Amino acid sequence: MSESRQRWSCYHGRDGMGEHWLAVLPERPEAVAAGVLFDLSGCALGDTRGAAEVLPRLAGPEGAAGGAVHLCVAYGPGARHPEDRLAAVDALLVPAARGRMDPGLLGTEPGESARGGAVKPLRLADSVRTAAATGANATIWGVLRHTLPHRDLAADRWGSSRLVTQARRLHTALTEEVAA
C-alpha cells in the first residue's frame, strides 16, 4: 500500500440521489437541498458535472423556498459547465416569477463568492445573459441589485478597471430603476 493519502467519500448519497430524494420527500425541498448542497457546490467550485440537473425540480414546489434551496440555486449560475448553468437559470426563472424566491438571497451569495474568487464572474455573466434572453428582466435586475454591491466593495482595491467602471454604471442604473 502506498504512503500517499487518498480522499474517500461515500457514494451512497451521490450520482442523482437528489432526484430520488425529491421523489421520496417532495414536501421537504429544504431537506433535499441540504443533502445535495455539497454536490452543487462542486459544480461551481470544482469540476463536478451534472449535479445541477436537480435544481429545476428542487426549486419548483409551491410555497416559499428556504435558505438551503436559495443557496443551491445561487451556486448554479457559477457552475463550470454550461449545462449546469442552464439548469440553474431554469430553476431561477419560474419560482422567481411566482415570488417564491428572494432576489436578495439569490444575489448576495454569488456576489460574495465571486468577490472571494471562488466563483468566476464570467460564468455568472453567462448565466445572466441566458436568463435575460428569456425576457425575465425584472427577475434579473432584482438579483443583480444584490450581487453588484459586492463587486463594488472590491473597487477600492481594483481602482478604475473596466470591470469596476461597468459594475458602477450598472449599479447606478439599477438604483435609478428601483427609485423610479
Confidence of residue 83 (pLDDT cuts 50, 70, 90): very high
pLDDT at 12 over 70: no
Tracing cell 463587486 back to the chain, one arrives at 151
Tracing cell 463550470 back to the chain, one arrives at 80
Confidence of residue 175 (pLDDT cuts 50, 70, 90): low
- Give the model confidence (pLDDT) of 118-165 as tens digits: 778 888 888 888 988 888 888 888 888 887 765 464 445 555 677 677
Contact by Cβ (8 Å): 40, 75: yes
pTM of the model as a whole: 0.73
Mean pLDDT for the chain? 77
The amino acid sitting at 89 is: V
The amino acid sitting at 167 is: A
Distance CA 58, CA 26 (A): 9
At residue 86, the pLDDT reads: 94
Those residues with Cβ within 8 angstroms of residue 20's Cβ, 6 or more apart along the chain or in another chain = none
The three state secondary structure string of the chain is: CCCCCCCCCCCCCCCCHHHHHHHHCCCCHHHHHHHHHHHHHHHHHCCCCCHHHHHHHHHCCCCCCCHHHHHHHHHHHHCCCHHHHHHHHHHHHHHHHCCCCCHHHHHHHHHHHHHCCCCCHHHHHHHHHHHHHCCCHHHHHHHHHHHHHHHHHCHHHHCCCHHHHHHHHHHHHHHHHHHC
- Give the model confidence (pLDDT) of 22-81 as tens digits: 888 888 888 888 888 888 888 888 888 888 998 988 887 776 688 888 888 888 888 999
Distance CA 168, CA 111 (A): 14
Between 11-15, 84-88, 107-111, 124-128, the lowest mean confidence (pLDDT) is in 11-15
C-alpha cell at 166: 461597468
At residue 102, the pLDDT reads: 86
